[in-house]
Amino acid sequence: MRQEDFPRNGNLDGSHGLVMIPPVMSWYYSKNGTQLGPVAEAELSLKIKSGEVATSDLVWQEGMGDWKPASQVPAFQGSAPLSIPPVPQGNLPMAQPPAMAYGQYPQIPNYLWQSIVVTILCCMPFGVVGIVYAAKVDGMVAGGDLAGAQAASQSAKTWTLTAFICGLVINGIFVALMVIGAAQQA
């Protein structure tokens, strides 16, 4: 290769020197009689590994005499498709959620309406967090995640009570300041 074949870095006159970037070797492949490409070698290797391109499919790049099966090209000999073992049948050692008939879910309180009320009347930032946890409870129960539902219920209760107490304290301070202000004007 000559220097003129590589892109220059910097000014058009080349005052910043040359950057030697080798050209990307493009591959073409044939799938069901259709020529596809060009693609980079790494991309074609991934297609072969995924099984999208079979090792019997023909590949070619500039400099090769003829099209060859991918399995006969040294660059792709380690690119055989990944074999996934079949799922074993029979007794699987996976934990199954307890089977419950429709409507037989345990009653876990979600505190949704309480969270909404304290969000509107007391303390919005803490109430919103309570609403988020309260909204998760019923979905977790329906999905069989009883421990997660119980934890979300407890978090919803905690944030709802925190919002209520903060609202009481803030409103109490406000009333006390109003009484003090009214007493000073009288």
CA distance 59 to 62: 11
99 in a structural domain: no
Q: Is 85 within the bounds of a domain?
A: no
Higher local confidence (pLDDT), 186 or 79? 186
Print the domain residue range for 157: 112-185
CB 35 within 8 A of CB 26: no
In a domain, 89, yes or no: no
Residues 123 and 59 in one domain: no
Among candidate residues 51, 76, 101, the one where a domain is terminated: 76
What's the mean pLDDT when you consider all of the chain?
79
For 85-101, letters b (16+ CB in 10 Å) and e give eeeeeeeeeeeeeeeee
Contact 80, 48 (CB under 8 A): yes
Is residue 90 in some structural domain? no
* Residue 95 falls inside a structural domain: no
Domains identified in the chain, total number: 2
Regarding whether 181 and 120 lie in a shared domain, the answer is yes
User: Does a structural domain hold residue 121?
Assistant: yes
Looking at the structure, tell me whether residues 117 and 181 fall in a common domain. yes
Is a pLDDT exceeding 70 seen at residue 60?
yes
Write 168-171 long-range contacts (CB < 8 A, 24+). Answer: 168/122, 170/122, 170/123, 171/122
Report whether 129 contacts 159 (CB < 8 A): yes
Q: Contact at 8 Å (CB) between 156 and 116? A: no
Q: Does residue 62 share a domain with residue 119?
A: no
| 122-155 pLDDT per residue, tens | 888 888 998 999 999 988 888 888 889 999 999 9
